[in-house]
Structure 1
Amino acid sequence: MKIVQAIKEPNKPFKLNNSVALKEPLVLVFGNRYLLESDQIYAEVREMFPNGHIVFGTTSGEIIDNTVLDNCVVLTAIEFEKSSILVKRSNVDDFNNDDEKLGKSLMAEFPRENLRHLFVISEGSTVNGSALIAGIEHLGNTSFGLSGGLCGDDDRFERTLASYNENPKEGEIIAIGFYGETLEITSSNYGGWTTFGPERIITKSNGNVLYELDGKPALDLYKTYLGEKAKELPKSALLYPLSVKATQDSEALVRTILNIDEVENTMTLAGDVPEGARVQLMMSSVDDIVNGAFHAAELAIKDRKNPPELALLISCIGRKLVMDQRTEEEIEEVKAVIGDDTVIGGFYSYGEMAPFSGQDSCKLHNQTMTLTLFSE
C-alpha cells in the first residue's frame, strides 16, 4: 500500500507530503463546503492524479495525521498493491428520497465475490442513514464489512456535497468496495456520552422524523430542556443528542437532530426513531469524549492480525463542539493506540456508520468516533 497526503488552504494549491507516483489510486478528498464548491476543485485534483478514482465529501472539520483543521481540504491518495477497488454512486433525487431503495440499488452494483468491505460517503443533509444501511444490508451482511459516514457542513446545516470523478454536488451517495484476499479491514465506534433527565416514550414518528414524546410535541419538550439555547437550534442540539433504545434489551443508539420544522413542530434526526422506543437526553465532557476515542481505537485494533497501514477516522461535529480548542486530543488518543506508522485521514461528520463491537450488522450512529483500519 502506497499513500500520499496533501493539504489545501484557501486560495492556495495542494501541498503534497511526498511525490510518490501512484497507479490508479483511490483519492479521498474531504474539505470545507465553501472550498469544495469551487468549479476548479475536481480539475485541480485530476491534474495531480490523472488515473485516480476521486471521491469528494464536505466536512465539519478535516482530520490528517494527529491534526484537526478547519476551512481546509485534506487529501489521501492510496494505491492498493495487492487488492482492487470498485466505486459506485447514486443520488437521493433519483429514488424520490427513498433511501432504503437507494441502498438496495447501490448494493446491486457490487459483485459479492471477494468483497471484503464497503465504505460509504453519503450526503448528510436529508438522508436517513438507518434506511440507507438497511437497503445495503437487505440480503444479509455476513461476508463483508460496512462503515462510513455522512458529510458535514460545519455547524451551519445548510447543505452537504459529495461526488465521484466530478465536481461535488448535493444528494450524492458514494460507495467504495474493497476486494482482495490479502486485505484486512476492521472498524469500530464508541461515544462517551451519558444520559440524564427523565426517560420518555416515542408516541409518534415516521422513519427519522420525530413528532411526539409521551403524547406531547417532541420539539416543544426539547425546547423546554434547552431553555435559552433553543434559539440556536439545530446547532445547540449537537450538545444534547438523544439516546434511543428500540427495545428494553437493545443497545442504545445516539441520535443527532439535523433539522427542525417549526410549522409541523417536528425534529428530523440522522437515523430512525421508531415508535415505542425509549428516549433520554445526553451530555458529555472533554474527558469522556477523549476516553471514548481511546476505547474506539482499542476495539478497532483488538483482533487484528496485522498492524494497520491506513486509518480513516470519522468523528461527529457534536464531539468537536464540546472539545473546542482541545479537539485534537481525541485524534492523539487514537494515534497512541494504532501506532505512529499508521497514516491517518478523515473528517468530522453529521453521522457515522459502523457495527457495534462483536456484531456484523452496521448501524447509523451520532456523536461517536468511528475508525476503519486497513492493511494488505
Structure 2
Amino acid sequence: MIIKQAIKQANTPFELQFDPTELKNPLVFVFGNRYILEEPSIYEEVRDLFPSGHIVFGSTAGEIVKDEVQEETAVLTAIGFEKSTFLVKRKNVTEFNNEDDRLGEALMETFPQEDLKHVFVVSEGSNVNGSALIKGLEKTKAKSIGLSGGLCGDDDRFERTLASYNENPKEGEVIAIGFYGESLEVSSANYCGWATFGPERIITKSEGNVLYELDGKPALDLYKMYLGEKAKELPKSALLYPLSVQTLEDEYPIVRTVLNINETDNTMILAGDVPEGSKVQLMLSSVDDIANGAKRAGNLAMKGRQTAPELALLVSCIGRKLVMDQRTEEEIEEVREAIGDKAIVGGFYSYGEMAPFFERNSCRLHNQTMTLTLFSE
C-alpha cells in the first residue's frame, strides 16, 4: 500500500512533496472546508494530479492529517493498493424522495458481495437521516462485511454539506467505497468519552430523528431549561450537550447530537433516529475525558488485529472539537499512541460517525465519538 498526502489552502494549489505518478489508479480522498470544495476548479485540479484516480470529496468540520487537525484547508490522501481492489458507488438523496433507508439498500446492492471485506461511506450530512441510511445499507449486507464512515460537515455553520465521486462536490451525495482482497485486513471501532447527568426521561413522542416529547412534555422546553443561558446560543450550544439514547433494541446507549431546533413546532432535530420508548439523559464531557475516549477507541480497533495498520481513517465529531478547542490534536495523539506510528492517518470532523460497537457486526450511527477504520494489506 502506497499512501501520499497533501494540503491545500484556499485559492492555492495542493502542496505536493511526492510524484503523483507513483500511484496507479489510486483511491483519492479529499476532505476539506466547504468553501474550498466550492471552488469551481477543485475537481479539475485533483484530476490533473491523478488522471486515473478515483476521487472522493467530502466537506468537513475540520481536517485530520498525520498528527494534526487543520481548519479551512483541504487534505488529500491518495492510496495505491498493491494486493487489494476497490469499487466506488454513489447515490443522491433526491433520487429517493429522502427515503434514506431505500437509498442505503440500493447503494449496497450495487456491490458484488463475494470477497467484499468492508464498505466505507462518505455521506451528505445536512439532509440525511444517518440511522435510516445505515439501516438500508445493513439490510442486504452480509454480516461478515464491515461498515463504517461518516456524515460530512460544514464547520459550525450547519448551512450545507458537500460530497462527490469523480465530479465537483455537490449537495445530497452519498458515496460508498467497497474494499476487496484476500490479504486485506480492516478493523473499526468507536468510543465517546462523554458522561450522563440529570434525570433519565422517556421519549413519549418522536418521528424518525425528530424529537417532540419527553415524559409527555415538550422536549425543546425541557432541553432549554437545562441549558439555561446557553439556550440562547442554540443550535450551536447543543453540540456541547448531546443526548444519551438507550433504545429498546440496542445493548449500548447511542449518543445523539441535536443538529437543529424548530421553534414553531417546539421540536429538536437530531442526527439520527430517536425511537419512542427510549430512555434519554443529557451528556457532557471534559478535554481529558474526550482524549481518553479517543485512546480507548484506538485500543478497541487494534484488538485482535493480525497485522499492523498501514492506513487509519479517523472520523470524529464536531462537538468533540468544540470542547477540545486548542487541545483538539490531543485526541489524535492518543489514537496514534494506541495504533502505533507506522500507519498514515487521515480523516475529518463530522456531523455523525458510522461504526459498529466493539465485537458487534452491525453498524450504528454515533455522535460525539471517535471512530477509526484501520487498513492493511
What TM-score do you get using the length of structure 2 for normalisation? Answer: 0.98
8 Å contact from structure 2 (residues 108, 141) kept in 1:
no
Residue equivalent to 1:262: 263
What letter is aligned with 1:5?
Q
| C-alpha deviation, 1:231, in angstroms | 1.6
Stretches of 4+ aligned residues off by more than 6 angstroms = none
Distance 2:206 2:142 in 1: 27
Residue equivalent to 1:4: 4
Distance 1:179 1:241 in 2: 36
**1:230 and 2:234 are equivalent in the alignment:** no
Distance 1:232 1:367 in 2: 19
| C-alpha deviation, 1:141, in angstroms | 3.5
Deviates more, 1:131-140 or 1:168-177: 131-140
8 Å contact from structure 1 (residues 211, 217) kept in 2:
yes
| C-alpha deviation, 1:249, in angstroms | 7.2
Residue equivalent to 1:354: 355
Percent identity between the aligned chains? Answer: 72
Aligned residues: 376
**1:58 and 2:59 are equivalent in the alignment:** yes
Deviates more, 1:220-229 or 1:243-252: 243-252
8 Å contact from structure 1 (residues 31, 59) kept in 2:
yes
Distance 2:180 2:273 in 1: 30
Uncovered stretches (5+) of structure 1, i.e. residues with no partner: none
Local SS of the residue matching 1:16 = coil
Distance 1:65 1:159 in 2: 27
Residue equivalent to 2:181: 180
Local SS of the residue matching 1:137 = helix
**1:212 and 2:213 are equivalent in the alignment:** yes
CA displacement, residues 241-296 of structure 1 (integer Å, 9 cap, x when unaligned) = 00000139721000001121111111111111000000000000000000000000
CA displacement, residues 94-150 of structure 1 (integer Å, 9 cap, x when unaligned) = 101000000010011000000000000001112111110110111354121000000
CA displacement, residues 284-312 of structure 1 (integer Å, 9 cap, x when unaligned) = 00000000000000000111000000000
What letter is aligned with 1:17?
Q
8 Å contact from structure 1 (residues 184, 306) kept in 2:
yes
| C-alpha deviation, 1:6, in angstroms | 0.4
8 Å contact from structure 1 (residues 4, 16) kept in 2:
no
Distance 1:167 1:56 in 2: 8
What letter is aligned with 1:11?
N
| C-alpha deviation, 1:233, in angstroms | 1.1
Local SS of the residue matching 2:205 = strand
CA displacement, residues 125-177 of structure 1 (integer Å, 9 cap, x when unaligned) = 12111110110111354121000000000011111000000000001000000
Local SS of the residue matching 2:139 = coil
8 Å contact from structure 2 (residues 108, 140) kept in 1:
no
8 Å contact from structure 1 (residues 258, 269) kept in 2:
yes
Residue equivalent to 1:363: 364
8 Å contact from structure 1 (residues 92, 173) kept in 2:
yes
Superposed, 1:280-291 pairs within 5 Å as 280-291=281-292
CA displacement, residues 327-371 of structure 1 (integer Å, 9 cap, x when unaligned) = 000000111111111100000000000000010000000000000
Local SS of the residue matching 1:181 = coil
CA displacement, residues 180-201 of structure 1 (integer Å, 9 cap, x when unaligned) = 1110000000000000001110
